[in-house]
Chain A
Amino acid sequence: MCEGRGLQGPAPGPRVRPATIATTRAEPGGDGNPSDMDALLPAKWSLRGLNLGILALWFCFGVYAFKFSPNAAVVTDRTLLQAAINLGVDEDGNSINRIFLALFYVLGLLPVIYASLLLPSGKSGNGVPAWPFVSLSMFLGAFGLLPYFSLWQPCARRRDVLGSQSKLTRFLESKANAAVVLASLAGLTAMVATASSSDWSGYLSLFGKSRFTHVSSLDFCVLTLMAPFWVYNDAEQRQWKRG
């Protein structure tokens, strides 16, 4: 459940003093204005619609990926996967397509970004934990995260978000993690920007034939399009730009 201390009474931990609890009880909305959150949150019915829409997207994406996406290069798919894990070099020592390789690595970076956005502050109001879905997304990408998005509900009132004490969350909160993500992204951008025209045409050819490339590209688009909402949600929980 949401960690709204004002809603659920004192925290089980011994570190919060009674004065603090009294303060948070007096301010159930976190900033003392519950109607403010009502204005920010979408209406219940539209939220349900959004959840159902994301569930439908997940279902359609799955059906498309496994039934209708191009699958004319099964052997190439296997080679691509093996080579991507082997830092872009296949069994024969040849380099694979740079654009695909960058895409593969970006898809490894996106779950880290989502973990940094979801684990500290993206908890669902109905108690669905984020970590199983984030863990799944390391291997399945959007297929692992979309179910969580479809189940996610905002808390009824703005929480007074507390920093987690777990080592993983502390690392995800750290600036070092953000710097590593940004540096990796810059490296991948350089990799893509210096790719030749033949790399791009090769990638487009793979996109039309290889299921792995095709679905990975769509996965990248879905995850990228979903990210701004979670950035906004995280900023709201931190009350960024609110003094």
Chain B
Amino acid sequence: MKLTDPREKSPPLLHLLSHTRPYIANDLKLDYKLDYKLDKNKRDALLAALALLPLYGPAVYLLLRPQLPNDDDRVT
């Protein structure tokens, strides 16, 4: 069973439902765990991007920077 309102997946509601409607609560618990895991994966991906993103600046700069002038280039 899937409910669209995210507020209905909060733990206090689960606690309440586990006493009144245990079959709904079990389904919601599964949804809640899945959502939590998805959020955690997103968080991990974000952490990875943030951890390594600053290094891309210097690396991209090395690729784009102009060459230093050689001796021959200075001859007028």
Contact = CB atoms under 8 A, between A and B. Distances in A.
B62 interface: yes
Main SS class of interface, B: helix
Contacts of A16: 71, 74-75
A72 interface: no
Contacts of B3: none
A63 interface: no
Given A178-B63, A185-B56, A193 B71 contact: no
A16 B28 CA distance: 78
A23 interface: yes
Interface string B56-76: 111111110111111110111
B12 interface: no
Nearest to A238: B66
Interface residues of B, number: 31
Contact of A238 (B45, B52, B56, B65): B65
B55 A193 contact: no
Nearest to B37: A197
B52 A235 contact: no
A240 B63 CA distance: 13
B71 A177 contact: no
B1 interface: no
Interface stretch (A38-46, A74-82, A134-142, A226-234): A226-234
A163 B61 contact: no
A200 B63 CA distance: 31
B58 A192 contact: no
Contacts of A228: 57-58
Given A106-B55, A117-B58, A193 B49 contact: yes
Contact of B71 (A15, A227, A238): A15
A162 B69 contact: yes
A234 B65 contact: yes
Given A117-B58, A178-B63, A228-B57, A162 B74 contact: yes
A113 B52 contact: no
A17 B75 contact: yes
A197 B48 CA distance: 11
Interface in A151-181: 160-164, 173, 175, 177-179, 181
B6 interface: no
B8 interface: no
A177 to B, nearest CB: 7
A209 to B, nearest CB: 20
A120 interface: yes
A102 to B, nearest CB: 8
What 10 pairs between A and B have smallest CB-CB spacing?
A178-B62, A163-B68, A178-B63, A192-B48, A163-B70, A15-B71, A193-B48, A227-B58, A182-B59, A189-B52
9 contacts: A13-B71, A16-B71, A17-B76, A20-B74, A182-B56, A224-B55, A231-B58, A234-B65, A237-B68
